[in-house]
Amino acid sequence: MSEHNEVRHEGVITSIDGDMAQVTILVKSACAECHIKGACSLSEIQAKVIEVNLKGQTFRIGDKVNVVLKESLGMRAVLLAYIIPVLLIISTLLITGLFIDNENIIAGSSLLIAGIYYLFLYLNKRMLKKSFQFRIE
């Protein structure tokens, strides 16, 4: 597959259980590469653990690997995690604002809808895990 259609992160295998490996990657903000990051409070480096199916590949704990995800799946994740909830909140604000004059109820209903949406995602995380498959190189 073309490198332009994939997102790669270097990581280290931290545990292996059967065919599943946990890979720790360091996610850096753009500020982390800045030469004045020491003087700024915005720089951020965060460790994330990703579960990857080895699919018969042989690795050992401590191996450095590249974790790869199709770019289109990254865009889908942004859609599910950010864009859809924002659209739900805005549309709930507008619709309830037409029928109710109490701003507390309008805001509360918008947050409730967002909460229900995220609960739906949480309850369907197994399905989402299947569709968001990382691979190791």
Give 27-42 pLDDT, tens digit per residue. 766 565 565 555 555 5
What's the domain range around 63?
Answer: 6-69
Q: Are 12 and 25 in the same domain?
A: yes
Q: Are 83 and 128 in the same domain?
A: yes
Predicted TM-score (pTM) of the model is: 0.66
pLDDT at residue 1, rounded to an integer:
46
Burial class (CB in 10 A: 0-12, 13-18, 19+), 52: buried
On whether the CB atoms of residues 51 and 128 are closer than 8 A, the answer is no
Question: pLDDT (tens digit, 9 = 90+) per residue, 86-124?
Answer: 999 999 999 999 999 999 999 999 999 999 999 999 999
Q: Are 62 and 76 in the same domain?
A: no
Q: Are 59 and 75 in the same domain?
A: no
Domains in the chain, number? 2
Query: Is residue 30 one of the residues assigned to a domain?
Result: yes
d(CA 83, CA 85): 6
Q: Are 112 and 92 in the same domain?
A: yes
Q: Are 12 and 62 in the same domain?
A: yes
Query: Is residue 137 one of the residues assigned to a domain?
Result: no
Q: Are 116 and 91 in the same domain?
A: yes
Query: Is residue 1 one of the residues assigned to a domain?
Result: no
d(CA 115, CA 136): 34
Question: Mean of the per-residue pLDDT values for the chain?
Answer: 83
Q: Are 17 and 62 in the same domain?
A: yes
Let me know how many helices (H) and strands (E) the chain has, helices first.
Answer: 4, 5
